[in-house]
Amino acid sequence: MTTRIIGISENRVSNKRLLIILSTITVLLLIPFIAMQFTKDVNWQVYDFVVMGVLLLGTGLALEFVLRKITSIRYRIMLAIFILFICFLVWVELAVGLFGTPFGGS
């Protein structure tokens, strides 16, 4: 009986974290969308929103996976920093083409 209660409690926490991840992604994508309404300096296409949404969702889900599966706090922190670093590198590459790949920005 105790295991079932703990499982339900853990499931609710995980669902709450997923809701927070999705809400954060939505808010972050709303920033350039709203900025586009007021200035011509921000000019995102639908493709840009899709790519950034996939990048943010992938990062969020990877962090959620680490939180669910890794029990050691030390390894959680190390993996979270690594995941965020990779996300940052992909973001920079897509924005300005730091590494010169065909996907890099101009």
Length of the chain: 106
Query: Between 96 and 90, where is the model more confident?
Result: 90
Given pLDDT bands bounded at 50, 70 and 90, which one contains residue 2?
A: very low
Q: Is residue 55 part of a domain?
A: yes
**Domain annotation covers residue 86:** yes
As a whole number, mean pLDDT of residues 5-15 equals: 66
How is residue 12 written in tokens? 């609710």
b/e burial code for range 89-101 (CB count within 10 A of at least 16 → b): eebebbeeeeeee
How many domains does the chain divide into? 1
Q: Which pLDDT does position 60 carry in this prediction? A: 96
Is there a domain that residue 102 lies in?
no
Domain assignment present for 104: no
Cα separation of 61 and 48, whole Å?
A: 20
Cβ–Cβ under 8 Å, residues 55 and 89: no
Identify whether 11 is part of a domain: yes
Evaluate whether residue 37 is within a structural domain: yes
User: What global pTM score does this model have?
Assistant: 0.81
Domain range for 31 is 2-96
